[in-house]
A and B are shown apart, each in its own frame.
Chain A
Amino acid sequence: MYAKNMLLAATGAAALLVATGTQAQTIDYGMLQDAFGQAVTTGATGKPQVQSDAPAAMHIITAEDIKASGLDNLPDILGRVAGVDVLRWGAASADVAVRGYNQAGNPRLLVLVNGRQVYADHYALVTWSAIPVQLSEIRQIEVVKGPVGAIYGFNAVAGVVNIITYNPLYDTAGAATARFGNHGQREIGLSKAMKLNDKLGARFSAGYKEADEFEQGRLSSFDRLSMRDPESLSASGAVMAQLTDTIQGGIEVTHSDVKQLEMMPSAVYTFQHFKTTSAKVDLTADAGAIGLVNFTAYRNWLDFDYSSIGSSNVTTTVAQLSDLIQFGTDHTVKLTGEFRHNEMDQFLSEARGSIGYDVWAVSGMWDWKVTPTLSFTNAARLDFFEMKPDGIGTFPRPASSYDVSRTKASFNSGLVYKPTDVDTVRATYGLANQLASLVELGGLYGTQTVAPGVRLYILGNPDLKPSEITSFELGYTRALPAINGNAGINLFRQKTDNVKAFLGADTLIINRVPVLTVVNGGESKSWGAEVEVEGKTDAGVSYGVSYTFTDINDNLTVNRGAAPTRPVLFEGATPRHKVEGKVGYTLGALTAQANLSYQSSRTLLKAPAALQPLTAVKIDGYWSAGATIGYQFESGTEIRLTGTDMLRPDTLTVPGLRTERRLYATVSQKF
């Protein structure tokens, strides 16, 4: 209902605003990249910018990069980016983090597909295999490092991964893919973006994959109960249209169905079944002097079933109205209003009712070109949050304690200085808020009998304060024409206040009743560096190396006893050193790439069963290697062989299943 009203209002507004004589344009990434000689992005500010102008540390993975890697999944592709950390829990399950703080069900990273969040609000996590996108339909993946809350709102605290697919109004691209390999890997996929005529384009994709779950590892008997092989199915379809000379519109629907082993935030394995559905509508209007007006509304539906916990569903509805307008030659402003509503049925043994929240937000971004070589960007956002409990179980907390409203502000500021046409210096500041998940706020409600007549209540915490992440960063990038490449360094310092400490074995007393609940657990500080250089020769050789340093210091108010009682530990949980190297070679239709990486030791927490004391497990540092070779026939057929984690049959990378060596073949046909 909210979305419908917003849609009607925006359509009316757009119709009133539009000017005549121009064509509304969504961004034609391909044509702009061709014109400017570098990738174009809106990921840092919401305004189109060439990558080197963006006031944020940003890495853009292109369609060519994805293809050259030979990789078959998003976490592994992202894991090769400096500053990105991957925890691979199983053949299909992984968590991805930017600049440390990775954990099971990592809640700090916002992931979007064409601007729609695929981050699931129940646990505030991303199930990567449930993202309904085929690799062959991705134009680029923008990885924004550092908090960008003033642009994206709650939860864009460690960074944002923005996946952008081909736009059928501008791009014609299609591929059918079949992949098979060891450990029972089988996959088929299809994607196509095509113009139907000058004013209409369509895109669709579908895919299915399955594999055997990893087999080796130190799993508890509780974990073993959840061991089953993963499989996933996804489909999406979109239509884009030039509705009038001044308005473009688009409709997109997606669906995915995923079954896989998953590591839960409580540090135990469970077998999950995820069914996601989404529907989205976009309208972009060139309103002449009023600017570029965009309205986007979408709804995400999620049905989830965790074998060891329970099942429920979540709906998330988002409507955004924005205006991007240029003043004179030096000023660009973006004003955005956003409404978000989500709702989840409470789950666990005593569950009843539903919980959700509304967020109204306003934000503004101002980009000022101070001089031809210096730009200064500032953005601020205010989020007004109001919880919407509806008949949920709350005892022993009073029901009134769930009537919570909050107002939070986020800020981003960035200076970009380009003293020469090859040098870029960047200084940025960010303050973002990480909202508690629906589960943490009150989505769980159950009891355990701990002694005759004594029941332990498991419930959320409506008083949980959003974590507040502050970041300062300095960056320097230099284009290196002599090697057809570039080099760069980022230095950052980050602080997280009000760390969230998920449920564990830590019992609290509320109104004289023992409970297990989520609490704020202190603060954590980090600093780090990312250094990278890449180049290529005229002889077809490309190369690159990156180094990531991350140092985290926790000052927690939980886990102070001999054994950790909550699954929260950041200090030592991120490898201090990570090195990624690659060498590629192209000879006519033949392409090959070899990768070598190293990451130092880390310590992660693991519970033998839900709500039990945890153990700190040290994972030794390790090297890993991968390689891929492909041949492209003139017919558009490509045959490719890829190997990952090739140095040993299996490698301990997490306190759970060992990552297995994989070898697979891919046959794809362009159409």
Chain B
Amino acid sequence: MSDRYFQAPLRALAATLALCLLAPTQALAIDGPSAAVAVKALNFVQPKPAKPIPVAIVVDAGQTAAGDAIKGALGADIAAKVVEGGGDIAGAAAVIVVGKADMTAKTAAGQLVIGDMACMEAGRCALSVERQASGAAKYHVNSAALAKTAVAFDKNFQMLVTAH
């Protein structure tokens, strides 16, 4: 390794390392397309829920239209219903939080709580999706929130998510 031949690439590598600055994660509100991507995570929940997978979309009072928009974006593998904050979410494999509702105390074990980045970062939601300009998706998981709801993902999927 003392070979002078490699000095230039080593310098370049060091320069790259020096340039590696922290960039903030972009927060995105959950909408229909994001929710449609987010519920794909349910394919990796262990044990796998049977299809169609029941999902509750929780909206703030008077915001049912927003919930309906999300419901319309979900695929045929999802059986979704829209409920207002205090509504019944029993039996749902996942809960999508659209507004500011805090479902922490209301969700049962095994229910995956999906929301926007702020919800995930605050620990009120276990999972959030960041849709990237490239067309790729990044799944963010709040590990503490996930552990609290006793939801387990397939290990391969778990290694692909961004854990917080």
Contacts and interface: CB of A to CB of B under 8 A. Distances in A.
Contacts of B160: 32, 36, 40, 48-50
B155 A421 contact: no
Interface stretch (B51-59, B61-69, B79-87, B134-142): B134-142
B89 to A, nearest CB: 23
Interface residues of B, number: 46
Find the residue from B135, B152, B154, B156 having the highest chain A CB count within 10 A. Answer: B156
A421 B22 contact: no
B159 A326 contact: yes
B133 A372 contact: no
A421 to B, nearest CB: 4
A529 interface: no
Contact of A25 (B5, B25, B40, B155): B155
Given A36-B136, A40-B160, A373-B23, A425 B16 contact: yes
Contacts of B5: 493, 495, 525
A417 B47 contact: no
B162 to A, nearest CB: 7
A62 interface: no
A470 B12 CA distance: 16
A429 B47 CA distance: 40
A481 B10 contact: no
Contact of B154 (A23, A326, A374, A495): A23
Contacts of A244: none
Interface string B41-53: 1011011100000
Interface in A21-44: 21-23, 25-28, 31-32, 34-38, 40
A243 interface: no
A52 B156 contact: no
A292 B155 contact: yes
A37 B136 contact: yes
Given A35-B139, A421-B133, A48 B21 contact: no
A111 B9 CA distance: 28
A23 B136 contact: no
A635 interface: no
Contacts of A525: 5
A35 B23 contact: no
B158 interface: yes
A463 interface: no
B159 A427 contact: no
B17 interface: yes
Contact of B156 (A32, A419, A422, A495): A32
B130 interface: yes
A291 B159 CA distance: 11
Contacts of B13: 415, 427, 429, 472, 474
Interface of A is mostly: mixed
Given A372-B25, A419-B23, A493-B6, A36 B162 contact: no
A486 B156 contact: no
A40 B6 CA distance: 32
A245 interface: yes
B153 to A, nearest CB: 9
Nearest to A38: B136
A50 B136 contact: yes
Given A21-B46, A474-B16, A329 B143 contact: yes
B135 A31 contact: no
A308 interface: no
A36 B140 CA distance: 12
Nearest to A484: B135
Contacts of B9: 472, 474, 493
Contact of B155 (A37, A291, A425, A479): A291
B164 interface: yes
A645 interface: no
A170 B23 CA distance: 37
B105 interface: no
B132 to A, nearest CB: 4
A421 B37 CA distance: 17
A31 B130 CA distance: 18
A474 B12 CA distance: 8
Interface in A306-363: 324, 326, 328-330, 332
A415 B20 contact: yes
Contacts of A449: none
Contacts of A422: 132-134
A284 to B, nearest CB: 10
A470 B6 contact: yes
Contacts of B25: 372
Interface string A471-486: 0101000010100101
A328 B8 CA distance: 36
B74 to A, nearest CB: 14
A27 B156 contact: yes
B134 A481 contact: yes
B134 to A, nearest CB: 3
Contacts of B37: 35, 37
B2 interface: no
B135 A25 contact: no
A286 interface: yes
Given A22-B46, A48-B156, A422-B132, A372 B23 contact: yes
A522 B25 CA distance: 50
A474 B10 CA distance: 10
Given A35-B40, A421-B130, A481-B135, A415 B152 contact: no
A25 B156 contact: yes
A420 interface: yes
Contacts of B122: none
Nearest to A292: B155
A328 B137 CA distance: 22
25 contacts: A21-B47, A22-B47, A22-B154, A23-B47, A23-B48, A23-B154, A35-B137, A36-B160, A38-B134, A48-B156, A292-B155, A326-B155, A369-B162, A371-B22, A372-B22, A415-B20, A419-B21, A421-B130, A421-B133, A422-B132, A425-B16, A474-B9, A474-B13, A479-B132, A495-B5
Interface of A: 21-23, 25-28, 31-32, 34-38, 40, 47-50, 52, 245, 286, 291-292, 324, 326, 328-330, 332, 369-374, 415, 417-422, 425, 427, 429, 470, 472, 474, 479, 481, 484, 486, 493, 495, 525
